[in-house]
Homo-oligomer: A and B are copies of this chain.
Amino acid sequence: MTNMNDQMMDMMSMTMPGTDMKMMQECMEACSAAEQAAIMCADASSGDNMGRMMSMCMNTADMTNTMMRMMMRPMAHDMTTMMSMLEATMTMCRACAAECMTMADVSDHATMCAQVCTNCADACEALMGSMRTTSSV
C-alpha cells in the first residue's frame, strides 16, 4: 500500500477501538497479495489437469478481494459478520494452497500462489484469534 493509504488506515483506527489495527492491516495486505497471485496463477493454468486449480484460484481471488474490502469499511464493522467471513476466507485459501501444491512440480506460478495463499490464511487466522480474545474480555 502507498503511504497515502497508510494515513487513511491511521484515521480508520480511531473508529474501530476494539480491533488490533496492525494485525488487520497485515490481513488486508495479505488478502490483496493473495488476490493478485490467484489472478495470475489462474491465468497461467491452461495445462493438463489444471482446471480445478484455475477455478479454485478464481474463487480465492474473489473472496480475498471481498474480505479486504470488508476490512476497509469500518462504518459497517460488525464482529459476527467479520468472523464468519474471515473463517470462510481462511478455509478457501487453505484449500487453494493445497490444490496449487499438487501442481508445484509443473508450475512456478502455482508454487508461489500456494505460499501467498497460505500467508493469507495465516493472517486471517491470527486476526480471528485476536478478535476472539477481545470479545471474550
Inter-chain contact A84/B73, CB cutoff 8 Å: no
Secondary structure call for the A interface: helix
Give the bracket for the number of chain A residues in contact with chain B: 35 or more
Chain A, 78-137, CB within 8 A of any chain B CB: 78, 80-81, 84-85, 87-88, 91-92, 95, 108-109, 112, 115-116
**Cross-chain contact of A84 among B28, B51, B75, B88 (Cβ < 8 A):** B88
Inter-chain contact A55/B75, CB cutoff 8 Å: yes
- A81-B76 contact in complex given A1-B33, A33-B2, A116-B5, C-beta closer than 8 Å: no
**Cross-chain contact of A4 among B12, B28, B87, B116 (Cβ < 8 A):** B116
**Cross-chain contact of A65 among B28, B50, B56, B65 (Cβ < 8 A):** B65
Residue A27 at the chain B interface, CB threshold 8 Å: no
**Besides the known contacts A46-B51, A62-B69, 13 further A-B residue pairs in the complex with CB atoms under 8 A apart:** A5-B33, A8-B112, A9-B40, A32-B32, A43-B76, A46-B50, A52-B75, A54-B75, A55-B76, A59-B76, A81-B88, A84-B91, A85-B91
